[in-house]
Amino acid sequence: MNEVEVRGEYITLGQLLKLNGIAGAGGDVRWYLAERPVLVNGEAEKRRGRKLRPGDTVQLSDGTEIRLK
């Protein structure tokens, strides 16, 4: 499981995907979320603006898990 430190109150799902090299730009994020399942705390999520806070867990379609701290 990868861990990402949140600096500030939150990070958006789109920012997290870009930070981890999964998507290069906003359009890439939109495409990724439309084509691949992403789970946030066990629930399907397609909004790139979803606010993620410390303690949240994101699971990508390839099985990668990212925990925010």
Query: CA dist 21 to 43, 56, Å?
Result: 22, 19
pTM: 0.89
Q: How far apart are CA 22 and CA 29, in angstroms?
A: 8
Domains contained in the chain, CATH given: 2-68 (3.10.290.10)
**Secondary structure letter of residue 18 according to DSSP:** H
| CB-facing half-sphere around the CA of 62: CA atoms within 13 A | 5
pLDDT digits (tens, 9 = 90+) for 1-54: 899 999 999 999 999 999 988 888 778 999 999 999 999 999 999 999 999 999
The answer, yes or no, to whether residue 69 has pLDDT greater than 90, is yes
